[in-house]
Chains A and B, each alone.
Chain A
Amino acid sequence: MGLNIATHILIGIGLFFNLVGVVGLHRLPDMYTRLHAATKCTTFGSIFLIAAVILQSLGIWMIEGAGSAQPAMWIRAILTLVALLVTNATGAHAIARAAHRSGEKPARVVVDDLEAKGHD
């Protein structure tokens, strides 16, 4: 019972952050701020949603006991979470660097220190 309530709270937090990220993808002015909103919020929301899945799978495992197929589920869910955390941060960095080098300007930019100092 308490496990189900905790799972619902985790799902609520995760869906809220995913929705905030998706709204930010449409509402913010330029590509860099949209990258910032979308990547961070969807990564944070996915952490909570996959944590809800892991918690529920552990609960089913406790009920079913030995011989259950649930360890395969939650160990792979943890692996998915680790892969998602590593690849999202690295991919966002690669996108931002590529966009800056291809000449994409932030909206309403006044001073671009990265351009001025020459380290690209």
Chain B
Amino acid sequence: MNWIPAVAVLVACIFITVARVFMGPGAPMRLVAFDTTNTLVVTSLVVLAIMFDHVVFVDVAIVYALLSFVMTLYVARYIEGGKF
């Protein structure tokens, strides 16, 4: 199996979403783009795990997914302007 084209397309997608993080008007748009970036990074980490045959990449992907979820909730609460 050749996984390199799949990873290349995913990395291109990540660059396009990061461009939206820098361009996007307003904080909610940036948060949406960053959440999408996190999903794509987790997916590409899982694909890289089977490409290099290292299980460590999948462990990193699980921790990354859960931490990015916490980050999204905290920034959403910050945008909302409520108490923590």
Contact = CB atoms under 8 A, between A and B. Distances in A.
B20 A25 contact: yes
A80 B32 contact: no
Given A7-B1, A22-B36, A80-B42, A99 B47 contact: no
Given A73-B49, A83-B65, A34 B32 contact: yes
29 contacts: A7-B1, A18-B43, A25-B17, A31-B26, A39-B35, A39-B36, A39-B39, A42-B36, A42-B39, A46-B39, A46-B42, A49-B47, A53-B50, A56-B1, A56-B50, A73-B49, A79-B62, A80-B42, A83-B65, A84-B39, A84-B42, A84-B43, A87-B66, A94-B73, A99-B79, A101-B80, A102-B28, A102-B79, A102-B80
Interface of B: 1, 6, 9-10, 13, 16-17, 20, 26, 28-29, 31-33, 35-36, 39-40, 42-43, 46-47, 49-50, 55, 58-59, 61-62, 65-66, 68-69, 72-73, 76-77, 79-82
